[in-house]
Chains A and B, each alone.
Chain A
Amino acid sequence: MSDIPYKDKGSILAPFKSLGFLARKPVTEPFEPRPASDNYRGFHVNDWEQCIGCSTCQKVCDNAAITMVRVPGLPEDPVKGIRNERPAIDYGRCCWCGLCVDICPTGSISLTTEYVHTCREDELDSYFILPDPNGMHGEHFPTGWGKSTDADLVDLERQPMGEVAPEERIDSYREIVDGFTEQQAIIEASRCVQCGMCHDSCPTNMHAPEYIRAIWEGDAEEAVRQMYRTNPFSHVCGRVCTHRCEAACSIGRRGEPVAIRWLKRYAMDAVSDERVREIAAEGKVDYISGRKVAIIGAGPAGLTAAFDLVKKGHEVTVFEALDKPGGMTRYGIPEYRLPYDRLDADVAVITSLGVKIRYNTRIGADISMQDLERDYDAVLVAIGLQQGRSTRIPGSTHSQVKKAVSLLRKITQGEKFDVPHRAVVIGGGNVAMDIARSLARLQKTSYGEVQVTVCALEDFDHFLADEEEVVESREEGIEILDSRGPKQIVIGKDGELSGLLTLGVKSIFDADGRFAPRYDDSDEQMHPADMVVESIGQMSDVSLFGDDLTERLEWNRGRLKVDENGHTSEPWLWSAGDMVFGPDVVHAVADGHRVAASIEDYFASSGSQNNE
């Protein structure tokens, strides 16, 4: 039976029991709006200091209520991943579900406890608002539904990347990073919110959102197609790019940025070399223009320009002084970071399109610039920075004081030299780490133990080398000292090198921001060594131009003067790559595109064909 005390015939008097309520205190609610609960979903506020304008809120909004609006005067910096856009909300559409809050990569947007707004018919515009930190009506209301770690919709953690253990890798040049499996790549790609900050920050504006999405959709070929829109060095960049995209990634605001570089590497490795060549050839014109272009230097800048120009139907010849292509990507980057066969694969794509590379041909010695000027319609110099700079401290001319780039080139070419028992590297950039780690491998194989010290000018808070490089170097037994300025190379009585004296660094730049290191003379250290490697920067060898051309060209503080497209003061001559912008693969690629476009424009405007 029912558990209600109800009788078949309820008493007709039962309702009168309720008369007792007359004696109770009446419940009254105040006329004012009731304060809402602590996580109420009312009108939005947006912390403009935190907001980066990534528009992720707009993408998740299920009612299409969010419009992105440019607000002049707010900071805008593609390298840092900040846009001067802010979300505006249409309260005719918003349903206050709060998904925008849960997915916001920065945590800038939240809902407040404010919930009353009304207006006359002629004020309907007031339902379209641009939330700022002040609230809808400029009155402060406490935050209601805010970012919570409980149910954050942003996936803050990267897929783990497998690495070869330090003890296994130290005695060989095998690649350290394993790369993603297909499953890992799809999951990693799924973390992307498609904000496009990576695209804006990339020097060559790679279509990273598009290729990440293609990887997520399981279409590696489409990913490769998207990469080849802007980067014919995708194998190389997939391994050693300085990945400014990841610094700009909006997921990185609170978590680990999407591993864009490793995703690129995954897609390139997932597609066969033949298929990559077919994809890269898409869009190549089916006629021959009759123009001839000479490119000096088979590095990333030169070969990227060659890639673009050959697809436009021009005849491209690349002159390379050494016997293999790649430039600094081959001779500067150790094989444990970039296996040579991957570099060869990138270059093979470019040559498969018809680019000719003449190796062991040094311009200025084997062929003169005058010959090129005569025989070609345009000449591009992309020779990079192949000479190391010297510290010029006392003793730095000693034969056991080496330049990092020269030593790296020797190692790559397999040239024999006496491996030092104890080495000191001066410098704190990635090249310093490269040579330190290469020497460590040689020491391990020659002597069974690693004795390498790196003395960097910068402190660890302002370190130049990538953090992972520092971590991995330490794992491999390399000692890294920060804030040490080189004072003197110590040479024994027998003329043998015995070490490096360093001083503690007080400051590196002067009040005007110029490079002027100041040292603490009381903090002197001796680092015993039988070899010192200088790794403080590189410069270009410009002797190839010859006296006559050097005289005709315009220079700026020892650097070749070019316009923003790499065009020199000579109409037929361009320059690109590290020698213009400093050492970085992806900048060199971007520069290659820029110069190729400039050459193409020159051809289009010059009309008639020279030398024909």
Chain B
Amino acid sequence: MRPENYQARSQPPSNEFELNFGPNHPGIEGNYAFRVKLNGDEVLEARADAGYLHRGFEKLMEGRLWIQNIALVPRICVPDPVPMEVCYSLAIEEIGGLDVPERAQWIRVMQLEMSRLAAHLFAFGGHAATTGMYTPMFWGVADRDLILDRFEELTGGRVYSIYNIPGGVRRDVPDGFLERLSSLLDYLESRLPDYDNLFFTNQVFITRARDVGTMTQEQALSWGVTGPNLRATGLAFDVRRDDPYLVYDQIDFDIATEPGGDALSRNLVRRSELKQSIRILRQVIERLPSIKGPIRCPIPNPLAWNVPAGESYTRVESSKGELAYYVVSTGGDKPYRVHVRGPSSMHAVQVLEKLAVGSRLEDIAQIMFSLDACPPEVDR
């Protein structure tokens, strides 16, 4: 049925048309839209359209006590919330001169890597779905849930763990947790060949993902690409190693790189990082029991906590790339300014727009998932 005010309009014959991709589309991560101009199924122009997940976090944070924001920050990135908490806490710790006990630092590393595993399982599962393969998505999401079970045990919350606090973490590791985590890692490790068979060495996937959304290392650097996407262009850069925080400088891990710069390479980097994260977690399991001491340094009463005036730009390596918080304190009980630099603010906007041009319509979803773009990081 046509609306009452419908008037047929005559248009010159053309193969070009515009398409709104999203904001609610299975090929989009979260609520995000993409306006594309097409000629046939070839993309001529692409414009990212954000704002569907804007909740004004940066503004909200200015109105809340320092510690109240720990419940807010993980919401900025749903699939990978822990780096948000840790990064925010690190910034306050730097400004306030807090010494985080070593035990808490190791516990943070443990959470960060658990979160990375969960996020990568989500990401490759999602990518598989965009190429029509739903089983890897089911597997990825189901196995991620097993990690969330451990998060629930450790932090009391499955997704938003709200477990890190400026000064350390909020609870010690429960008895027997490390053993259960260890057997989870055994299980996940045993699953890697399954994922490979089903997905990573699957001819269908390889053929679909190769040479899709390709960028050179030079392009990646000039577009501000970071994280696995940058490593997939062959640059071995990782904030954990090259701008180390917490106790990453005491941990052995390799930085996975791939030469191709395409959707395939990006997925293979994540696949390698699954293995590296398991490797890091095994080191944590080995070391943590011998690191005694408190899990949080003394902090003032949160209702009367003036963080000294100062500013900090703190970076961590999230599963999606370089995550940074710029926090400014004027010596009050609330932050004066918090700026969140999510890696997806590059990947989901300019990079996606650039990579989409010239690609085919059916590859847009693939490109977005291969970049592991997270719209709430853009919207904040």
Q: Is B219 an interface residue (CB 8 A)?
A: no
In whole angstroms, how far apart are the Cα atoms of A60 and B305 in the complex?
12
Give the nearest-CB partner of A190 in chain B. B304
Query: Which residues from B are CB-within-8-Å of A2?
Result: 256, 258, 268, 271-272
Query: Which residues from A are CB-within-8-Å of B157?
Result: 40-41, 96
Quick one: given A6-B201, A9-B203, A14-B197, are A99 and B71 in contact (CB under 8 Å)?
yes
Contact B203 A14 (CB under 8 A): yes
Contact B156 A4 (CB under 8 A): no
Quick one: given A97-B70, A213-B304, are A150 and B196 in contact (CB under 8 Å)?
no
Of the stretches A123-131, A191-199, A389-397, the one at the interface is A191-199
Contact B152 A36 (CB under 8 A): yes
Quick one: given A62-B71, A97-B71, are A40 and B156 in contact (CB under 8 Å)?
yes
Q: Is B370 an interface residue (CB 8 A)?
A: no
Give the nearest-CB partner of A152 in chain B. B296
Q: Is A605 an interface residue (CB 8 A)?
A: no
CB distance from A397 to the nearest CB of B (A): 57
Q: Is A542 an interface residue (CB 8 A)?
A: no
Query: Which residues from A are CB-within-8-Å of B170?
Result: 98, 102, 148, 150-151
Quick one: given A40-B152, A97-B71, A150-B172, are A6 and B301 in contact (CB under 8 Å)?
no
CB distance from A35 to the nearest CB of B (A): 11
Contact A17 B197 (CB under 8 A): yes
In whole angstroms, how far apart are the Cα atoms of A56 and B301 in the complex?
11
Of B156, B200, B302, the residue contacting A153 (CB under 8 A) is B302
In whole angstroms, how far apart are the Cα atoms of A473 and B298 in the complex?
34
Contact A5 B201 (CB under 8 A): yes
CB distance from B307 to the nearest CB of A (A): 12
In whole angstroms, how far apart are the Cα atoms of A70 and B157 in the complex?
31
Q: Is A59 an interface residue (CB 8 A)?
A: yes
Query: Which residues from A are CB-within-8-Å of B194?
Result: 18
In whole angstroms, how far apart are the Cα atoms of A14 and B205 in the complex?
11
Contact A18 B197 (CB under 8 A): yes
Interface residues of A in 453-492 (CB under 8 A from B): none
Q: Is A37 an interface residue (CB 8 A)?
A: yes
Contact A150 B152 (CB under 8 A): no
Quick one: given A4-B201, A5-B196, A37-B153, are A148 and B171 in contact (CB under 8 Å)?
yes
CB distance from B350 to the nearest CB of A (A): 28
In whole angstroms, how far apart are the Cα atoms of A216 and B302 in the complex?
13
Q: Is A262 an interface residue (CB 8 A)?
A: no
Classify chain B's interface size: 35 or more
Of the stretches B18-26, B61-69, B237-245, B352-360, the one at the interface is B61-69
Give the nearest-CB partner of A56 in chain B. B303
In whole angstroms, how far apart are the Cα atoms of A96 and B158 in the complex?
11
Query: Which residues from B are CB-within-8-Å of A98?
Result: 156, 162, 170
Give the nearest-CB partner of B175 in chain A. A38
Q: Is B300 an interface residue (CB 8 A)?
A: yes
Contact code string B235-279 (vs A, CB < 8 Å = 1, else 0): 000000000000000000000101000000000100110010000
Query: Which residues from B are CB-within-8-Å of A187?
Result: 300
Q: Is B202 an interface residue (CB 8 A)?
A: yes
Give the nearest-CB partner of A216 in chain B. B304
Query: Which residues from B are CB-within-8-Å of A56?
Result: 303
Contact B302 A60 (CB under 8 A): yes
Q: Is B336 an interface residue (CB 8 A)?
A: no
Quick one: given A40-B156, A95-B160, A96-B157, are A18 and B201 in contact (CB under 8 Å)?
no
Of B67, B72, B294, B304, the residue contacting A189 (CB under 8 A) is B304
Contact A150 B296 (CB under 8 A): yes
Query: Which residues from B are CB-within-8-Å of A604?
Result: none
CB distance from B284 to the nearest CB of A (A): 19
Of B153, B200, B298, the residue contacting A6 (CB under 8 A) is B200
Of B171, B197, B303, B304, the residue contacting A15 (CB under 8 A) is B197
Chain B residues with CB under 8 Å of chain A are 64-65, 67-72, 135, 142, 149, 152-153, 155-157, 160, 162, 165, 168-172, 174, 194, 196-198, 200-206, 256, 258, 268, 271-272, 275, 294-296, 298-305
Chain A residues with CB under 8 Å of chain B are 2-7, 9-12, 14-15, 17-18, 27, 36-41, 56, 59-60, 62-63, 95-99, 102-103, 111, 144-145, 148, 150-151, 153-155, 187, 189-194, 213, 216
Query: Can you list 12 pairs linking A and B with CB atoms under 8 Å apart?
Result: A4-B268, A5-B196, A15-B198, A39-B174, A60-B303, A99-B302, A145-B156, A151-B296, A153-B67, A153-B302, A154-B301, A192-B304
Among all A-B residue pairs, the 10 with the closest Cβ atoms: A62-B68, A97-B71, A10-B201, A41-B156, A190-B304, A12-B203, A17-B197, A6-B201, A37-B153, A151-B170
